[in-house]
Amino acid sequence: MTPKLVIFDNDGVLVDSEPTAHRVLSEYLTELGFPFTVEESYRYFLGNAARTVHTVVADRYGGTLPADFTARCHERVFTASRQGLAAVQGARAVLTELRRRGIPYCLASSSDHAWIDLTLDRTGLRPLLPSEVVFSAQDVGGVGKPAPDLFLHAAASFGTDPRDCLVVEDSPNGVRAANVAGMRVVGYVALTPASRLTGATALITHLTGMFDHLDDGLRGSETEAMPVAAPEPEG
């Protein structure tokens, strides 16, 4: 049976924002006297809520970040992202195809709504992701992944059983959240090593690959797969 709801992460899955965000974050932390490389930023912070940065800095350096660190970091990332932000290759094609098939979908991100709005507006994905299908950790009291709250909230908003949902994620915490929520999850391994997404029920290297796993393991009988056209180059 085709999923009754497909839930997408945002950063790194639909929007190619991770390289800019982690460059800015690692530079800012280093400037404050807590050196992190871009690679380390990915390893420690990819898919985590902002408060994780404070925890990691305290554990690694025994240090404390300024009270306004998160706000200032967001400002820096916002400024850098306004200069150039693109949709992930295949994002428009996948969302358009799901809409054509009549399969409901939504976005569920640990980021706040201000950041999500910026990324969708800048990449031109907003027409495919109106506000009513966009969910943030802010909607569940700031509780981000790996807690299942955000995914369960998204499913409840659509009146959908979690077992009938398919999640597309690129972070270990996102995969964990989907697992705990009782949802099947496809791991997108563009930036994250496949070894870190071992909880995913399938792995893909391009977003359109999700259609190869659309019906796998869901409740009910299988439906005939429909071909997906090759995506047009995206800017």
Q: How confident is the model at residue 21 (pLDDT cuts 50, 70, 90)?
A: confident
Confidence band of 235 (pLDDT split at 50, 70, 90): very low
| Greater model confidence, 112 or 178 | 178
**CA gap 231, 97 in Å, rounded:** 10
d(CA 154, CA 10): 14
Predicted pLDDT at 65: 96
The predicted pLDDT at position 42 comes to: 83
Does pTM top 0.75 for this prediction?
A: yes
Instruction: Please give the Cα distance from 138 to 81 (Å, whole number).
Output: 21
Instruction: State yes or no: pLDDT of 229 exceeds 70.
Output: no
Task: Tell me the domains of the chain and their CATH numbers.
Answer: 5-16+86-213 (3.40.50.1000), 18-82 (1.10.150.240)
pLDDT confidence tier of residue 118, bands split at 50, 70 and 90:
confident
Mean pLDDT for the chain?
A: 88
How far apart are alpha carbons 79 and 43 in whole angstroms? 24
What are 122-145's pLDDT values in tens digits?
899 999 999 999 999 999 998 989
Q: State yes or no: pLDDT of 29 exceeds 50.
A: yes
Kindly tell me the number of DSSP H helices and DSSP E strands found in the chain: 8, 6
Given this model, what pLDDT does residue 193 score?
83
- pLDDT (0 to 100) of residue 1: 73
- Among residues 172, 127, 179, 133, the alpha carbon closest in space to that of 153 is found at 133
